[in-house]
Structure 1
């Protein structure tokens, strides 16, 4: 069949009571992205004509996270079929394929949705195509009963299945693609006269077959269709997503010496020939250029790192950190909302916040930009080629000129001209013999005691 428009309906009305959380279940993050966001991302590649999120009454946070998708309210919640019924008004006038997804399946891939659509558009024009999977333990999943020609005859809930049906390994994942023109008729036939007292989307298969319409199955990797209902399951999904992201990064030219210890986000971007040592954590919005080395135990979020830069070990890059080509940020250094320009070095025990460090400048150990006065943040500007001695405090707002030197231990409160030497510390005074006299007096005092 020719390519047709696609509408995506994502069911996200579940309260997630087993998560024991005030936050709606589908907004819990995996790899730094809400579960619902992962599903939206997978569907967005298809460029759907309509995206409809079915939420429960009062779930404003879900609606906000789903913008600009259309929102349909299911109230009260009376099953998956009832949820799709709630989406029908938003589908008015649409002709094409309707894909029903779940907002708590963060490992869903675009490829699976494409396979689902391809089957829906097959030569026999099925009214519905169901996603099935073969778990290691089928447990209490519904079983997909398929005939010898590959046609789906029915979906049997475990508790209603015969011993022969329970022996079937192909289970129902719940994801479905429908022909939009036949969907309303199938939904109209649903009834809540069952043990659950709900309108079940799975019953559409039985009604389609009764009308002489074909139904098909597309098989998926069990990991892709994993639904999340508990915190324990959330951790399993996180582990699976991390493995997926690590493999993708390594396939793209990143070396990880201990990949199982590296934590990535969905939006982490890498160039080629990047080396990541063990126990590195990436927060959101991080981009890493070619030939970057990130050493152990570094934490990076909201930062951009240009080609050839070195970070860590034990470095922290906070939002707004920008490292230019060949910049060095070393151990126990924190960078926040600051640019470290090409070839500059900030190598030891230093805090640089709300600042610019010019090209090839050198920042000594223990330097602090004093950017906060208790009310407002202020900027520090360090010129190209400047040298800041160890244990210096630069009290913002302040500017250190190009090529200037700040002596170790200085507190700088005024601008330093280019190529100047600045000393902002108390005068050293030596008193010969005083140390020996001090010790002699102390010894004499102790003897009297």
Structure 2
């Protein structure tokens, strides 16, 4: 196909307002299996070495930012300032037409395959057609929004659904919205487009009707409807992602990967999984993660942007982000590795252990209830249950070094910066602030005091205190008696006697 593609350039229509999504953004920013919708047709044409112009309009800065973020070559943009239909969008690209044939595809078609595009181009070129397009059969009358393909003798007519009469018979043959035009034909036909009397918009399918009316050569190819689905609503996005994920899981199954309850697994388009690996129900594997051979990824595990080497076991409900787990290691259950954690071969990071920005050597263990932050942990190290690396003082984060063979007792608090020497031991319950030398033993806790036969006395004191507290509570809870009501008898006004006058 490379020799054909030298004479073909692509146009991707990506200017629409996405009104049926009923969200503030553009539908083209939404992801399917970890990739933005717009990038499916963009990458498809890029893989075919077809230079591409993208028509942008609504949320143009966002769309351009997404595309540019993938650093692909051969991409340019043209703005459609007013969204007046697909025909108008194609016309605004006229100044960019340079190849002999112009391929046009909508930006909301994430399921189109390379085979479909190659078949369309090959059919068009071999037949010396003026215009060729893809059609499909849709048997579901509830799926709306597709132009209908109507054959009249040797002619092919395309009618937009909006322009069909209400009582029009059901037509199952639909226009996919993927075209290739001979440039010489397109230059003649593009100015013949007129706005729809129903919507006032210009439509690309009218070019096909113009070709039929003027006896130009029109070719069609058929494709499965599921492969040409457009996405205009959030429900259609969900349907398209389900189909894409099913395609991905089927591919990995054919390459030796077992999925338990496959419909409940989320898989991004850019992950890789080695043969012999078993993926449990509810697992999420995302953002380019690499899973080696013969791994066990158990139920409800989330792996994001991480590398898991061969023969690793990830137990249920573990979360691994941007980390590397070496061969034969065991992670979880309920473990959390994030922000560049490296776990060495044969190591075990167990239940409710969280690690961040930490390296852990070979054959080391942190099997229960620990936090490891900004730590460099050697090989053959054992981290006791409940140990916390205190790496943050409220302003700065400091490093902790635990050298090979060290044994950290349970319920230790390691106050960073601190270094625990090779083969050193720390006592359980210690709160350590100073470095421990190689082969040293550190204990940092208050001295235990034991009072013989004091337990009965203590219980009696506690019991008496409890009784006293209850009495006080009852006393303070009694409402005070109301004050007696005072009444005053009214006296007649005083009058002076005659003798006082």
1:240 corresponds to 2:243:
yes
Cα distance change on mapping 1:366 and 1:144 into 2, 3 Å: same
Question: Matches of residues 386-425 of structure 1 in structure 2 within 5 Å?
Answer: 386-396=381-391, 397-413=399-415, 414-423=418-427, 424-425=430-431
Q: After superposition, what is the alpha-carbon deviation per residue over 1:82-106, rounded to whole angstroms, capped at 9, x for unaligned? A: 1111122222x323x3221111111
Match of 1:375 in 2: none
1:316 corresponds to 2:322:
no
Match of 1:436 in 2: 456
DSSP-derived class of the 1:365 partner: strand
Q: After superposition, what is the alpha-carbon deviation per residue over 1:394-413, rounded to whole angstroms, capped at 9, x for unaligned? A: 23411000111111111123
**Structure 2 runs not aligned, ≥5 long:** 392-398, 432-444, 472-501
Deviates more, 1:56-65 or 1:291-300: 56-65
Number of equivalences: 434
1:361 corresponds to 2:359:
no
**Structure 1 runs not aligned, ≥5 long:** 372-378
Question: Matches of residues 116-265 of structure 1 in structure 2 within 5 Å?
Answer: 116-122=120-126, 124-138=127-141, 141-146=146-151, 152-158=155-161, 166-192=169-195, 194-265=197-268
Which of 107, 110, 131 does residue 106 from structure 1 map onto? 110
Alpha-carbon distance in 2 for matches of 1:272, 1:175: 36
Verify the 8 A CA contact 2:111 2:240 in the aligned structure 1.
Answer: yes
- How far is the alpha carbon of 1:253 from its aligned partner? 1.4
Cα distance change on mapping 1:429 and 1:31 into 2, 3 Å: same
Deviates more, 1:4-13 or 1:326-335: 4-13
Question: Matches of residues 1-20 of structure 1 in structure 2 within 5 Å?
Answer: 3-5=4-6, 6-20=8-22
Cα distance change on mapping 1:138 and 1:202 into 2, 3 Å: farther
Q: Give the TM-score normalised by the residue count of structure 1.
A: 0.90
Cα distance change on mapping 1:262 and 1:118 into 2, 3 Å: same
Cα distance change on mapping 1:133 and 1:436 into 2, 3 Å: farther
Verify the 8 A CA contact 1:282 1:300 in the aligned structure 2.
Answer: yes
Q: Give the TM-score normalised by the residue count of structure 2.
A: 0.81
Verify the 8 A CA contact 1:158 1:166 in the aligned structure 2.
Answer: no
Which of 368, 380, 384 does residue 375 from structure 2 map onto? 380
Higher relative contact order (CA 8 A, sep 6+): 1
Alpha-carbon distance in 1 for matches of 2:11, 2:309: 40
Match of 1:83 in 2: 89
Match of 1:374 in 2: none
- How far is the alpha carbon of 1:80 from its aligned partner? 0.8
Cα distance change on mapping 1:164 and 1:18 into 2, 3 Å: closer
RMSD: 2.2
Alpha-carbon distance in 1 for matches of 2:271, 2:107: 22
Verify the 8 A CA contact 2:25 2:59 in the aligned structure 1.
Answer: no
Cα distance change on mapping 1:267 and 1:435 into 2, 3 Å: farther
